[in-house]
Structure 1
Amino acid sequence: MVLPRGAVLRDRRGDALRVWWDAFRVHRRGPEAVRARQRERLADQVAFAREHSPFYRELYQALPGRVDDPAVLPVTDKRQMMARFDDTLTDPAVTRAGVEAFVADPARIGERFAGEYLVATTAGTTGTRGLFVLDDRYWAVTSGMMAQLSAGWLSPAQLVRLMVRGGRFATVVATGGHFLSVAAGTRERREKPRRHRRLRIFSVHRPLPELVAGLNLVRPVLLGGYASILRLLATEQESGRLRLHPTLVVSTAEGLPPGEPERIQRAFSAPVREVYGCTESSYAAASCEEGWLHLLEDWVILEPVDADHRPVPPGVVSHTVLMTNLANRVQPILRYDVGDRVLVKPDACECGNPAPALKVEGRASDVLTFPAADRQGRIAVPPLALGTVIDRTPGVELFQIVQSAPARLSVRLLPEPGTDPDQVRRSVVEGLAALLTGLGLAHIAVEADAEPPEQSAGGKFRTVIPLPPTNTQEFPSP
């Protein structure tokens, strides 16, 4: 069966209030009720994908008629889905050629593709550029879950303060492309009356003094952005150059190192919360006061797995994670290899939230591999090990570790104001060299780069950048 254009949504378009109310009622009945709702939604999503997507119809042809267990499904990934782009979509009006032409025009950021959908791109830092089409059901779920999270994060007095001050929300994100945050924010500004436009978008690419001046004028009650830029803004707030009084600070896209949530909270005198998600699945987990990310099981399924896509137990860092988005119908994301390495908490979280708690340890693609000293093998070093050394070094504002050659690391640093930059760089280089020596990698050269950390095309500061896979097979001398 082929749906007429737009029918994917018109009978199933939810709204944020219904999403919030459903979550409220189901969560009151306990974790088993939440997981039962999750299974119902998975069975419905799989059935819909099989009926309307040629890709999934072919992929699932040997499966049982009803599937409510994700482990039954084959694994998918970005490379595979981009190669079969037209076939993965459930609306025949959406084609790769049409979407490519659409995203090539910056003037169309936030406009509805085919009169229905938001289009978002990913920057391709993992090797494959992503094109994703998002329907109104996806956005109803995103808005409803954000409302649920805010109610849990803020006290009644803080919620009243937020509403009284008009809910002005400023987000600092990458601009200049059809990236999710800017595309969604631009669409809101296009479609809402001026008096209801509460979101202001600030470009992460603007010089810091200009960014500070703009935020001081807007005075947002909600401040959001990438973790790296929030760390810089907290320093500006501590210096007195930035003068904000937000009710809530929300960190996205990148993890905050130990101690930074507390520092940012002190700087802004506001609670700091992190959300974990991606373009493919919006909010997948959100932080509690204990610093763990709790899975939003209502609308997402997350499976930590090893390199062969077999489940790993709680307490073990996964090689990657498989994500299933139970909301988006136009481009279903089912058992999709995200590439993130996660650790699920083996026991109950002290905050009392019964949902699985996890920490994101980095991307599988960020694991560095080096030639062994005898050149008879390779030694892998996870990004967390390198990052922990730098996080323990006083005076580092931001850092970026680049594998500039198979046996060489280059470190880009932004020292904190008032510190001795040369001393900070020496301490970081010495710390990393000591770590590598302890791992049997004393032959790996570590050098300080005079340049500061560089943003990716998506505006984020990627903290660990390995060599491209094609270059890691050669082992020249350092």
Structure 2
Amino acid sequence: MPTSLEERELKLRELLSLLPNSPLYRDKLEGYDTSRIALADIRSLPLTTKAELRTAGAFGYLAVPKEQIAQYHESTGTTGEPSVSWFTLEDIATGGRQLRECGVNLASDDLVLIRFPYAMSLPAFLMQDACWATGAGIVPASGRTVVTPYPRVLELMKRLGVTVIAGLPREMELLAEAARLLGQQPSWDYPSLRAICVAGELLSDARRRHIERLWGVPVFNMYGSTETANIAVMCEQGVLHVREQDFIVEVLTEDGGHSVAEGERGYAAITTLSHRASPLLRYYNEDIVAVAPHRCSCGRSGASLTHYGRAKDRMTFGTTTLDAHDVQEAVYSLVPAPDAWKVIEQERGLHVLLDSHRSEQWSEESVGIQLSRWLRVPVTVEIAADGVLLDRDGLLRNVPSTKPIYIQRFARTADPVRELLDRGRELFMSGDYSGAKTAFEEAIVVNERNAESHAWLAAAYGRLIEAGNMQAKIKLLPIFENEVRTALEIDPLHPFARRMNGSRLLNTPESLGGNPALAAEEFQYSLAHGLDDADLWVQLGQCYVKLGRGDQALEAIQAALRREPDHRKARRLMEALQEEDE
């Protein structure tokens, strides 16, 4: 059944009444009148960042009494401090319900082998609840343990007639390779198997098709995290549908201040509408996603979601930006697809290590040419020696798997200015403009000739001016204008500095140097150089209104609404323009 707007509005009100029970949100939402917030107003509330969750600690965003807690979970923490979450019994049931919407359509005659790790991680327990709720039986063959090595899991699958496997995508690949080493053909030797469910790792379409070829059954993906539980599930048509009764998924620009256009890549901000124990508001989880409305023949109404990977894995070479999804699509499109692989970022391109039991079919030179063409960056290829990427002997012995590193980033020299800018932007996103201002000022102390630092400092002053009284506006405006001028003196072509200059020219009275025509040129320059969000189009529209160019103003506001349909200022301007036409 489609989720109604009224149901989502009610759930948002319930969430906003629950959040102040946690120490984090009690402080974070102080001064906000949340009783007046509707779905269309959610962008007026602050983002929640990973840094804030780490600072809050395990109990910092617990929103229910300890007596109501049923389970505690942590991520592996292999790439930093672990992510944590708390669950009531109701939360576990909600997570199970989310998974039951998967296109695998679990039934009482299914026997599901759960290969997700049971130690601390979340997916095994949600899958277990989903099975129990449908009457399906489970075989708890946890991964990454000496209790259930690969040969034993394969023996269990065959002897018990397992119909569904659920686990990490990598576990599905390793099980298939172990079966091959045992003289089996996975797509023929497990006739009871009808489907595979995966979660916990990035799964591009090419990787999903590869696993389907290995096992001869459909693969269904599930997208979520330890902090949020399951956000989207894949239907029978291969579409990841957002569970809109349980989540609001925003897709934002890198600074978190604006929405991107429907279907465009951006940074996810997740609001958990149904989670009780450790709810989250606009959680900026550092994942790159795209979300778009989707009329699907499966009958599910949730928007489609594409996951492109973590922001930490995003690589930029000149004008080419690569996400982990792009790399996966290229690697798994090779013939043969590799049994194991690793990409090493270099200063001007990529070095790719590949392993396959069919590696004699590869030529390092030809594969390098293919990958260079697909990824649009220079790629060198090395066929790895046996055991470097994959310990095949270990697959047949009692050796548990470990979390692989698929992308190894280039070890650049530490840049204190970049670290301060990143910290300042994170504070800016969370609504702490005074803290952001301090971080940007510290970046300028380290290098006063950095245009980006001055432009971001101007942005922080701009937000403080918006929120301040008349006395504060008079005091801060000259500082804002000076930072814009300084940024442009250092780098007159910097897009963000040009945008800030456009804001200065637009919002300053013409008698004091404002110029909407020049402001429009600055905004057009910013758009042409990669800054594309609803607020920027609104500002361009405001310029055209001041210049009396109604048709161009209308086009700009329409562009803003395509990127963010609920943008309040854009809607007001649209109504004003339509009234003028009447």
Q: Give the alignment's TM-score, normalised by structure 2.
A: 0.59
Alpha-carbon distance, 1:75 to partner: 0.6
Alpha-carbon distance, 1:117 to partner: 2.7
Whether 2:360 is the aligned partner of 1:420: answer yes
Distance change (3 Å), C-alpha of 1:198 and 1:433: closer
Inter-partner Cα distance in structure 1 for 2:367 and 2:233 = 31
Q: State the one-letter code of the partner of 1:315.
A: G
Q: How does 1:84-99 map to 2 (within 5 A)?
A: 84-85=56-57, 86-91=59-64, 93=66
User: In 2, are the aligned partners of 1:202 and 1:211 still within 8 Å (CA)?
Assistant: no
Whether 2:81 is the aligned partner of 1:141: answer no
Inter-partner Cα distance in structure 2 for 1:384 and 1:48 = 36
Q: How does 1:175-194 map to 2 (within 5 A)?
A: 177-182=119-124
Tell me the residue number matched to 1:394.
335
Inter-partner Cα distance in structure 1 for 2:339 and 2:140 = 25
Tell me the residue number matched to 1:96.
none
Deviations, residues 140-193 of structure 1 (Å, cap 9, x unaligned): 11122333x15x644xxxx6xx42x3x422122236x4122356689999xx9x
Whether 2:10 is the aligned partner of 1:47: answer no
Tell me the residue number matched to 2:172.
230
2:156 aligns with one of 214, 231, 236: 214
Distance change (3 Å), C-alpha of 1:91 and 1:389: closer
Q: State the one-letter code of the partner of 1:452.
A: L
Whether 2:32 is the aligned partner of 1:63: answer yes
Deviations, residues 251-282 of structure 1 (Å, cap 9, x unaligned): 21234343554565566564432111111122
Alpha-carbon distance, 1:292 to partner: 1.7
Q: Which runs of 4+ in 1 moved over 6 A?
A: 183-189
Inter-partner Cα distance in structure 2 for 1:127 and 1:425 = 34
Tell me the residue number matched to 1:288.
235
Deviations, residues 271-325 of structure 1 (Å, cap 9, x unaligned): 432111111122211112332211111111111111021111112111x101112
User: In 1, are the aligned partners of 2:112 and 2:137 still within 8 Å (CA)?
Assistant: no
Distance change (3 Å), C-alpha of 1:271 and 1:345: same
User: In 1, are the aligned partners of 2:248 and 2:271 still within 8 Å (CA)?
Assistant: yes
Q: State the one-letter code of the partner of 1:81.
A: L
Q: What secondary structure, in the 3-state scheme, does the structure 2 residue paired with 1:55 have?
A: helix
What is the percent sequence identity of the aligned residues? 21
User: In 2, are the aligned partners of 1:367 and 1:466 still within 8 Å (CA)?
Assistant: no
Q: What secondary structure, in the 3-state scheme, does the structure 2 residue paired with 1:132 have?
A: strand
- Between Structure 1 and Structure 2, the one with more helix by share is 2
Inter-partner Cα distance in structure 2 for 1:462 and 1:303 = 28
Whether 2:6 is the aligned partner of 1:36: answer yes
Inter-partner Cα distance in structure 1 for 2:68 and 2:281 = 25
Q: What secondary structure, in the 3-state scheme, does the structure 1 residue paired with 2:142 have?
A: strand
Alpha-carbon distance, 1:426 to partner: 4.8
User: In 1, are the aligned partners of 2:292 and 2:303 still within 8 Å (CA)?
Assistant: yes
Deviations, residues 88-123 of structure 1 (Å, cap 9, x unaligned): 222465xxxxxxxxxxxxxxxxxxxx7833111112
Inter-partner Cα distance in structure 2 for 1:275 and 1:304 = 18
Inter-partner Cα distance in structure 1 for 2:218 and 2:333 = 24
Q: State the one-letter code of the partner of 1:90.
A: A
Tell me the residue number matched to 1:360.
307
Q: What secondary structure, in the 3-state scheme, does the structure 2 residue paired with 1:213 have?
A: helix
Tell me the residue number matched to 2:406.
463
- Between Structure 1 and Structure 2, the one with more strand by share is 1
Larger radius of gyration: 2
User: In 1, are the aligned partners of 2:262 and 2:292 still within 8 Å (CA)?
Assistant: yes
Alpha-carbon distance, 1:73 to partner: 2.0
Question: Any gaps of 5 or more consecutive residues in structure 1?
Answer: 1-26, 94-113, 373-377, 474-478
Q: What secondary structure, in the 3-state scheme, does the structure 2 residue paired with 1:173 have?
A: coil
1:322 aligns with one of 266, 269, 283: 269
Cα root mean square deviation, aligned: 3.8
Q: State the one-letter code of the partner of 1:389.
A: A
Q: What secondary structure, in the 3-state scheme, does the structure 1 residue paired with 2:32 have?
A: coil
Q: How does 1:103-252 map to 2 (within 5 A)?
A: 116-147=69-100, 149=101, 153-154=104-105, 162-163=107-108, 165=109, 167-174=110-117, 177-182=119-124, 198-204=138-144, 208-233=150-175, 236=179, 238-239=185-186, 242-252=189-199
Q: Which has the higher contact order (CA 8 A, sep 6+)?
A: 1
Inter-partner Cα distance in structure 1 for 2:384 and 2:353 = 5
User: In 1, are the aligned partners of 2:111 and 2:136 still within 8 Å (CA)?
Assistant: no
Q: Give the alignment's TM-score, normalised by structure 1.
A: 0.70
Tell me the residue number matched to 1:431.
370
Question: Any gaps of 5 or more consecutive residues in structure 2?
Answer: 417-582
Whether 2:53 is the aligned partner of 1:81: answer yes
Inter-partner Cα distance in structure 2 for 1:428 and 1:472 = 35
Deviations, residues 372-428 of structure 1 (Å, cap 9, x unaligned): 6xxxxx86433333333322210123444343654564433331x44427x265544
Inter-partner Cα distance in structure 2 for 1:200 and 1:89 = 29
Distance change (3 Å), C-alpha of 1:324 and 1:468: farther
Q: State the one-letter code of the partner of 1:203.
A: G
Q: What secondary structure, in the 3-state scheme, does the structure 2 residue paired with 1:46 have?
A: helix
Tell me the residue number matched to 1:18.
none
Q: Which moved more, 1:401-410 or 1:247-256?
A: 401-410
Inter-partner Cα distance in structure 2 for 1:53 and 1:287 = 32
Inter-partner Cα distance in structure 1 for 2:75 and 2:116 = 13
Tell me the residue number matched to 2:260.
312
Q: State the one-letter code of the partner of 1:181.
A: P
Alpha-carbon distance, 1:360 to partner: 1.1
Deviations, residues 332-365 of structure 1 (Å, cap 9, x unaligned): 2221112221122465345443321121122211
Alpha-carbon distance, 1:215 to partner: 2.7
Distance change (3 Å), C-alpha of 1:446 and 1:420: closer
Distance change (3 Å), C-alpha of 1:71 and 1:227: same
Distance change (3 Å), C-alpha of 1:271 and 1:388: closer
Tell me the residue number matched to 1:411.
352
